[in-house]
């Protein structure tokens, strides 16, 4: 077999486009040539990896679609909303209770009051800022 014919058959078999006769021709030729058999095995292994790549992509996108499910998204937004509301109430209570406590020193009451005021001013500031710029943020559409 000429080197050109061998290369042609090797590529066809590795790409799984060889007919039965071509496959038989190649296998007969390499039967007693361990180095050529090894070369074919390497090509087939590479092919298996690249074939797997495409099916992994399919699975990846299927997972993406599952994550975009409206019910799942609504559920996670609801959960996050509840959690944040609870944390906000706890934070505010943590500040307000010492302020309202008649036994607390004045310095603690003033400090807590100023901190709570600052917290809300900064919170409103960053939320306002983000709401203004969010729609124009061109990177919102980037997914990966």
Partner 1 sequence: MTTDTNALVQAAADLSNRPDDGPLVLTTDDAPGFKVVRVIGLVRGNTIRARHVGKDIIAAFRTLVGGEIVEYTKLMAESREQSLDRMRAEAFARGANGILGARMTTSTVMGGAAEILAYGTAVVLEPAEH
Return residues touching partner 1 (CB under 8 A).
54, 57-58, 60-61, 63-64, 67, 76-77, 80-81, 83-84, 130, 139-144
| In the complex, least distance from residue 60 CB atom to partner 1, rounded to whole angstroms | 6
Given the complex with partner 1, which of 78 and 110 has the nearer CB atom? Answer: 78
Dihedral angle sign, alpha carbons of residues 124, 125, 127, 131: positive
* C-alpha–C-alpha distance, residues 136 and 144, integer Å: 19
| In the complex, least distance from residue 1 CB atom to partner 1, rounded to whole angstroms | 32
Given the complex with partner 1, which of 1 and 124 has the nearer CB atom? Answer: 124
State the CB neighbour count (10 A cutoff) for residue 9: 20
| In the complex, least distance from residue 142 CB atom to partner 1, rounded to whole angstroms | 5
| In the complex, least distance from residue 97 CB atom to partner 1, rounded to whole angstroms | 23
Given the complex with partner 1, which of 5 and 67 has the nearer CB atom? Answer: 67
Given the complex with partner 1, which of 49 and 143 has the nearer CB atom? Answer: 143
């Amino acid at each position: 077999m000429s080197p050109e014919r061998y290369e042609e058959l090797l590529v066809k078999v590795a790409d799984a486009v060889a007919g039965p006769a071509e496959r038989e021709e190649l296998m007969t030729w390499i039967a007693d040539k361990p180095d050529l058999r090894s070369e074919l095995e390497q090509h087939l292994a590479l092919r298996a990896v690249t074939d797997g790549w495409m099916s992994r992509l399919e699975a990846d996108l299927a997972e993406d679609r599952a994550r975009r499910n409206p019910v799942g998204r609504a559920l996670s937004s609801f959960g996050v909303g509840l959690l944040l509301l609870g944390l906000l109430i706890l934070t505010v209570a943590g500040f307000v209770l010492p302020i309202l406590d008649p036994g607390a020193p004045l310095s603690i009451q003033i400090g807590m009051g100023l901190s709570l005021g600052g917290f809300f001013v900064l919170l409103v500031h960053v939320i306002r800022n983000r709401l203004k710029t969010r729609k124009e943020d061109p990177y919102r559409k980037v997914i990966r």
